[in-house]
């Protein structure tokens, strides 16, 4: 049975869907004013893996991942660029889609944009006001009264009395309490706005997700996911808004992926160690980045470095090498779940999506493929890896298409010319020249593999 670590209860629990046989899952997506970074890549890949395994387990999944297309940073960037908010967000949504596709991330079932759900947000705020949890401040903003919601802090474990004004909350004299957060912002000069019962304005960030999730998945659903940085205050505030409005539980299971670190330091623009997905894909194959992310458990910190990416590239190459060595199957057969490696893979995935152990099962299976050259086991390897979005390409194409980072990439034509020159040198018994060519190719990141059928090659 699938067990999921629930951030709300701080323990692994048997996953029992609210509706038997189906799962409703919401994940906080991107705020689209810039290119997606490595932290976004982790969210995209991790919850793509989660929805893939839920579906592979026979569950019907409704997966929602939102887009925040209105907030302070978006407005500021659009003004700086002298363009409309729509032009800015449409452009970066396109870039986000390109990055996600490169990483093998499947489209969610629904991808709502915040600006499409203003009526639902207004309706939710009206309910909160009716329930005595929202008030209009003297500034014109509508705020949520944190102290009037008795369950505040149950996700993050933070006590209201321990929270001090100025720590992760805005100090605003218009608030009844410094801890209160904004639901509806009064229109500011030069900013976009929508009409509301409290005057022209725009939504606060937290209300967006509560409105979109409840509209698409219902007032009470199975899984809510996102990065660990969103646990407080964003997800805590979502719970307060949603349960305060609807008087019922909001989400059964909360899932949070761990932070990304760069050479053991937290990734941040201020430290100068900030990498976009596009930065990384200039040096590494997208599948290598996906494999690197999945090789770590989703709740653990992900430590990025060139050395770790190089290791992931070499490891993924070993899996593809095993597929290349086996006779090609006529077609990839369905996974045989009674086969020992598949059992181990399934047990790992059902233990809170333990992808490190699942990948270990793949490597053991690859060793069996190397020994047996069995087309059936190779098909099994490809089928299991495919559940993680891996090993879907032609092995030769992958192995010949991933140059060593930092090395000057040698063209396929140049490699084949040198291989032919080496063969000619061997035929005339000039073995020192043949060895020189082989060493030169290796220095350029190209490995030669001599066999009965001739010489094959792959990127190192």
User: Per-10-residue mean pLDDT for the chain, 460 residues long?
Assistant: 98 98 98 97 98 98 98 95 97 98 98 98 98 96 96 92 58 81 94 96 97 98 97 97 98 97 79 87 96 98 94 96 84 87 98 98 97 95 97 93 64 81 85 85 81 73
Find all residues with CB under 8 Å of 422, minimum gap 6, and list them. 433, 434, 437, 438, 448, 455
The answer on whether 189 is annotated among ligand-binding residues is no
* pLDDT value of residue 296: 98
* pLDDT value of residue 408: 60
Q: Does the predicted model carry a pTM greater than 0.85?
A: yes
* pLDDT value of residue 1: 94
The answer on whether 248 is annotated among ligand-binding residues is no
CATH architecture of 3-257: 3-Layer(aba) Sandwich (3.40)
* pLDDT value of residue 87: 97
Question: What is the spatial distance between Cα 175 and Cα 169, in angstroms, rounded to a whole number?
Answer: 11
The answer on whether 28 is annotated among ligand-binding residues is yes
* pLDDT value of residue 458: 78
**How open is the CA angle 293-299-301, to the nearest 5 degrees?**
65
User: Is the Cβ–Cβ distance between 53 and 195 less than 8 Å?
Assistant: no
* pLDDT value of residue 206: 97
The answer on whether 209 is annotated among ligand-binding residues is yes
* pLDDT value of residue 308: 95
CATH class of segment(s) 262-400: mainly alpha
Instruction: Quickly tell me which residue has 């050479």 as its tokens.
Output: 263
Q: Where in the chain is the domain with CATH 3.40.50.620?
A: 3-257
Q: Where in the chain is the domain with CATH 1.20.120.640?
A: 262-400
> b/e map of 251-276 (b: 16 or more CB within 10 Å)?
bbbbbbbbbbbbeeeebeeeeeeeeb
């Amino acid at each position: 049975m699938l067990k999921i670590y629930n951030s709300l209860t701080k323990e692994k629990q048997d996953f029992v869907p609210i509706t038997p046989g189906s799962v409703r899952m919401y994940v906080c997506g991107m705020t689209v004013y810039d290119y997606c970074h490595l932290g976004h890549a982790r969210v995209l890949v991790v919850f793509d893996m989660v929805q893939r395994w839920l579906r592979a387990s026979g569950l019907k999944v409704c997966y929602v991942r939102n887009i925040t297309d209105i907030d302070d940073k978006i407005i500021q960037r659009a003004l700086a660029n002298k363009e409309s908010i729509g032009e800015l967000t449409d452009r970066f949504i396109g870039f986000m889609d390109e990055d996600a596709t490169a990483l093998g991330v499947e489209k969610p079932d629904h991808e709502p944009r915040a600006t499409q759900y203003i009526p639902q947000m207004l309706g939710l705020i009206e309910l909160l006001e009716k329930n005595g949890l929202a008030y209009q401040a003297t500034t014109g903003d509508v705020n949520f009264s944190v102290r009037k919601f008795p369950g505040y802090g149950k996700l993050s474990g933070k006590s209201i009395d321990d929270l001090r004004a100025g720590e992760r909350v805005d100090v605003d004299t218009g608030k009844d309490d410094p801890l209160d957060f904004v639901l509806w912002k009064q229109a500011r000069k030069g900013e976009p706005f929508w009409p509301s019962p409290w005057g022209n304005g725009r939504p606060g960030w937290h209300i967006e997700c509560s409105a979109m999730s409840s509209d698409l998945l219902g007032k009470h659903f199975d899984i809510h996911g996102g990065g660990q940085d969103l646990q407080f205050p964003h997800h805590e505030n979502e719970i307060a808004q949603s349960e305060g409005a609807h008087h019922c539980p909001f989400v059964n299971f909360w899932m949070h992926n761990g932070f990304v670190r760069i050479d053991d330091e937290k990734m941040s623009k201020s430290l100068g160690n900030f990498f976009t997905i596009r930065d990384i894909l200039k040096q590494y194959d997208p599948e290598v980045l996906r494999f690197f992310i999945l090789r770590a458990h989703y709740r653990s910190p992900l430590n990025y470095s060139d050395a770790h990416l190089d290791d992931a590239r070499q490891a993924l190459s070993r899996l593809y090498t095993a597929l290349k060595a086996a006779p090609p199957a006529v077609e990839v057969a369905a996974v045989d779940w009674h086969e020992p490696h598949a059992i181990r893979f399934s047990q790992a995935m059902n233990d809170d999506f333990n992808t490190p152990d699942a990948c270990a099962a793949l490597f053991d299976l690859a060793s069996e493929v190397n020994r047996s050259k069995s087309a059936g086991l190779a098909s099994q390897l490809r089928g299991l890896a495919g559940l993680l979005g891996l090993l879907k390409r032609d092995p030769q194409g992958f192995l010949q298409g991933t140059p060593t980072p930092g090395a000057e990439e040698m063209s396929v034509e140049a490699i084949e010319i040198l291989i032919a020159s080496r063969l000619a040198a061997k035929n005339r018994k000039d073995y020192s020249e043949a060895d020189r060519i082989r060493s030169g190719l290796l220095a350029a990141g190209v490995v030669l593999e001599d066999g009965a059928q001739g010489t094959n090659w792959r990127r190192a």
